[in-house]
Structure 1
């Protein structure tokens, strides 16, 4: 598994550090409303064997973090599922034991080096490495970092009735300990942009106050999309919501916003779950949008 990939955006370096590859995701589970022909004979040209089986029934996904080094700051965007987390209602992420921190070190980053952790949303596979076990407690993995995420999202999921089954337990072991440690910076993205060079965009839909994050450096642009999209087939089919999108109409609007933003700015699109390189460029053609992997 190619766990580390690097890119340049202006004067910044962006590195993918992979936690997990999920090679057997049924497409009819991930996209319940899909048109089956799109992943077979009407398949977009960029959907290769690394993305989907030949019959379109099985998809591959990745779970990873993006590390952004600006020369001034070291930043982690989303933190995967985490080790040793009790997820009895979500066996895929239950009691994992992956070498994520070793891969982070191989990319040249130790936890104490990280200045900011930017969290797109508070779902199970985006906050897990926020914390590690220390005795009987969960403590922040990145001891010197400010963890930046949406205050509205935090307030919403603090109410257990709003937490869907796949993310059960996440708040207690991966979110609240960061707040209790005084390392959380809860923001309203309409009015607060606390990290130089980065802009937080409200892209509700997949979650209550999901954030996409854009980066500008020396005239070049990037977009870290979180879970606005899960798989590159959605570039061709932005109307497809995943089974995990909580607010369907909002999710479709946010997906179109992200695709248009990436195309308008010639931004490198850094996805959270695309297999293969996980990064690419979005362009327009007569059919809509196309994906060009980087």
Structure 2
């Protein structure tokens, strides 16, 4: 599937929001639609797993007619403690991504969508990159007079140290396995360092009294989740620990994008286990539809309690 450099319309055109304790959560969707063959995205999830759960996977997460995984490119904005925190920054515009046709030289309206949700670039205090893949760091920067500069001029960018090493020049841009990794680092990560806006972290990092980052490696070496705890409400923004709801049912199923399958599955099971035990709302980076879910333990896996409900922003 190719996004063909277009934006979605309809229900995802406007931002959606919910308040958890003292934190407002705003969802900003950059794009949503069929992304590729379902078993290409989650290879270990057999056809029976999709068919047996068609009643709730379709149409928001699976298109049965052509067996496509339906996914979203989206960011989450948290208003917490008087500050504005942006989780992941999408694909970006005008990027050279020859290895990812759906992202290559894309043009979109991400900043316009943020502005319509009441968020200007200068308003953002903290940018969180859950990991350093192309679709999570693209709007870290924008081009001005031929130079990539930070899009959010007043923000501190929180980058996982393990990812920065893996994808950076010290490790020769991910051991040189993917040319896109070098391009992503050079146009979306390195400029943030040059402008003195970055903070590398590892293990855990407390953003404020409500928000904490925690490492959840496997998808990438520094893949992270962000936990929200405020006024008795709980949520965990899991980035790419999950790509599809079938991974809730069977956490052993990795996506095709995971660099360390065993470690990714262990992180997924740990994150989902805590979410089930502590009633944390699970908020993945790429779920369409409601975009977030409550989960419960079921046998060796997990099940869906309900999808989250949002109001219009």
Q: TM-score band, normalised by the shorter chain?
A: over 0.9
Which residue does the alignment assign to 1:252? 265
In the alignment, what sits opposite 1:29?
A: 40
Per the TM alignment, residue 125 of structure 1 is displaced from its structure 2 partner at its CA by: 0.5
CA distance in 2, matches of 1:22, 1:168: 27
Q: After the TM superposition, which residues 63-142 of structure 1 pair with which residues of structure 2 at under 5 Å, given as runs?
A: 63-142=73-152
Per-residue deviation, residues 266-291 of structure 1 (Å, max 9, x unmatched): 11111100111111111223573112
Distance 1:76 1:24 in 2: 24
Structure-2 separation of matches of 1:270 and 1:72: 22
Bigger Cα displacement from structure 2, 118-127 vs 259-268: 259-268
Would the aligned equivalents of 1:131 and 1:178 in 2 still touch at CA under 8 Å?
Answer: yes
Corresponding residue number in structure 2 for 1:231: 244
Aligned to 2:191: 177
Q: Kindly indicate whether residue 202 of structure 2 is the aligned counterpart of residue 188 of structure 1.
A: yes
Mean CA deviation greater in 49-58 or 220-229: 49-58
State the secondary structure of the residue aligned to 1:144: coil
Structure-1-length-normalised TM-score:
0.94
For residues 59 and 209 of structure 1, what CA distance do their matches in structure 2 show?
A: 25
Q: Deviations over 1:134-175 (max 9, x none)?
A: 111100010000001212221121122435535441000000
Q: Distance in 1 between matches of 2:216 and 2:285?
A: 14
Query: Unpaired segments of 5 or more residues in structure 2?
Result: 1-8, 309-313
Retained in 2: the 8 A contact 1:16–1:66? Answer: yes
Q: Secondary structure at the match of 1:212?
A: strand
What is the alpha-carbon distance in structure 2 between the residues aligned to residue 150 and residue 132 of structure 1? 21
CA distance in 2, matches of 1:17, 1:122: 19
SS at match of 1:108: coil
CA distance in 2, matches of 1:161, 1:148: 20
Q: 1:14-63, CA deviations, whole angstroms, 9 ceiling, x for partnerless residues?
A: 011011214241012112222111111x2265312221123572110001
Is the Cα contact below 8 Å between 1:140 and 1:181 reproduced in 2? Answer: yes
Moved more, 16-25 or 160-169: 160-169
Aligned alpha-carbon RMSD (Å):
1.7
Summarize deviations over 1:196-250 as a string: whole Å, max 9, x none.
3212111110001111110111121110001000011111111110110000000
Which residue does 2:298 correspond to in 1? 285
Task: Give me the whole-angstrom Cα distance separating, in 2, the residues matched to 1:126 and 1:67.
Answer: 14
Distance across 2 between alignment mates of 1:164 and 1:258:
29
Secondary structure, aligned partner of 1:103 = helix
Q: Give 2:219's aligned residue.
A: 206
- Secondary structure of the structure 2 residue equivalent to 1:8: strand
Q: How far apart in 1 are the matches of 2:44 and 2:248?
A: 16
Shift of 1:124: 0.6
What residue number does 2:6 align with? none
Q: Judge conservation of contact 2:207–2:213 (CA < 8 Å) in 1.
A: no
TM-score (norm 2): 0.89
Moved over 6 A (4+): none
**Quick check: 1:19–1:100 contact (8 Å CA) kept in 2?**
yes
Q: Secondary structure at the match of 1:186?
A: strand
Conserved? CA contact 2:251–2:301, under 8 Å = no
Instruction: Say whether 1:20 aligns with 2:31.
Output: yes
